[in-house]
């Protein structure tokens, strides 16, 4: 029997014969099923996050591994974590079959090489302290299966995000996250519902992990890097919201902190200078709350 992601969808069997608006309605109706499918696997997502956070708190890293759309989504999620949460680019990494060229052009044949998945992990120095998440819509991709099998064999925590139940990759990992979204609107086009489900789960994994690590206060990104004007404005708004300072005072504090929101928050909380705040942050994993307590 065909995997559910490869089956034909009777709801969209005539999508080529309807108006543009009706075609969009058919696609949208299918998309509505995605969040429900993800909701059903939230306990598995939470369990995976707790294991990932444990690894990250003890010197490990998080790796996403995948091919095609799945690989691109992993690289995308990984690339957005450092500027959003102020962490090292090494902490969360995306590995895609075919290398970074595969981000903008199809290299789909590379997904059939099981050994290459292993070699690409080795090239990043993956070790038993790390967590590895395989992303594969079908769950039968040799490259990704090879990667997670190897990772698990050396003691890494492993998980997968896959949209076919009982697929091969689910048997190769510690925790399988399986949002079953059903057949695609266009048969086999897993960049659609399956890709959307994977993106939702990746958002949850990285966001909740950063929250657990202490890089969010309330629902504010207190560790974000102000790399452009938009983010500088956002940093200033966060500083004002967290401290209650007048805008002019907050602006001056940000200047004294070298434009670093984390430093500014610690400076304000403990009435410390920038050097003292920076040292406390360095000694406390760049977690603002811990740095404030330590400075006491």
Tell me which residues are annotated as active site: 80, 111
Cα–Cα dist 147/31, whole Å: 30
Do 215 and 221 meet the contact criterion of CB atoms below 8 Å apart?
yes
Per-residue CA distances from 25 to 10, 19, 189, 198, 257 (Å): 15, 10, 17, 22, 50
Radius of gyration of the chain, Cα coordinates, nearest whole angstrom = 22
**How many H-runs (helices) and E-runs (strands) does the chain carry?**
11, 5
Count the alpha carbons within 13 Å of 77 in the hemisphere toward its beta carbon. Answer: 31
Q: Rounded to a whole number, what is the distance in angstroms from the first to the last CA of the chain?
A: 63
Task: Give the distance between the most distant pair of CA atoms in the chain.
Answer: 69
Token pair 């697929």 in the structure block, residue: 167
Collapsing DSSP to helix, strand or coil, 161 comes out as strand
Residues 6 or more apart from 215 whose CB is under 8 A from it?
85, 86, 87, 221, 222, 223, 286, 287
Collapsing DSSP to helix, strand or coil, 60 comes out as coil
Query: If we measure between CA atoms, which residue out of 124, 125, 95 comes closest to residue 110?
Result: 95
């Amino acid at each position: 029997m065909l995997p559910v992601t490869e089956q034909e969808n009777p709801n969209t069997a005539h999508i080529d014969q309807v108006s543009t608006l009706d075609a969009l309605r058919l696609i949208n109706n299918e998309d509505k099923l995605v969040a429900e499918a993800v909701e059903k696997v939230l306990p598995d997502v939470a369990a995976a996050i707790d294991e990932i956070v444990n690894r990250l708190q003890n010197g490990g890293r998080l790796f996403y591994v995948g091919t095609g759309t799945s690989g691109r989504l992993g690289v995308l999620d990984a690339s957005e974590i450092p500027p959003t949460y102020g962490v090292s680019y090494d902490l969360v990494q995306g590995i895609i079959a075919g290398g970074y060229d595969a981000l903008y052009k199809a290299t789909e044949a590379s997904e059939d090489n099981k050994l290459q998945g292993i070699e690409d992990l080795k090239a990043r120095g993956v070790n038993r302290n790390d967590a590895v998440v395989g992303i594969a819509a079908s769950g039968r991709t040799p490259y990704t299966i090879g990667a997670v099998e190897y990772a698990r064999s050396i003691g890494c925590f492993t998980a997968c995000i896959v949209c076919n139940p009982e697929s091969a990759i689910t048997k190769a990992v510690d925790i399988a996250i399986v949002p079953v979204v059903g057949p695609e609107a266009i048969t086999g086009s897993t960049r659609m519902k399956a890709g959307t489900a994977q993106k939702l789960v990746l958002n949850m994994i990285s966001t909740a992990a950063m929250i657990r690590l202490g890089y969010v206060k309330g629902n504010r990104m207190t560790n974000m890097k102000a790399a452009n004007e938009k983010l500088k404005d956002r940093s200033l708004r966060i500083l004002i919201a967290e401290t209650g300072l007048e805008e002019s005072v907050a602006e001056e504090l940000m200047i004294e902190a070298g434009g670093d929101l984390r430093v500014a928050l610690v400076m304000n909380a403990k009435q410390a200078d920038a050097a003292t705040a920076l040292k406390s942050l360095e000694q406390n994993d760049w977690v603002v709350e811990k740095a404030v307590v330590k400075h006491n």
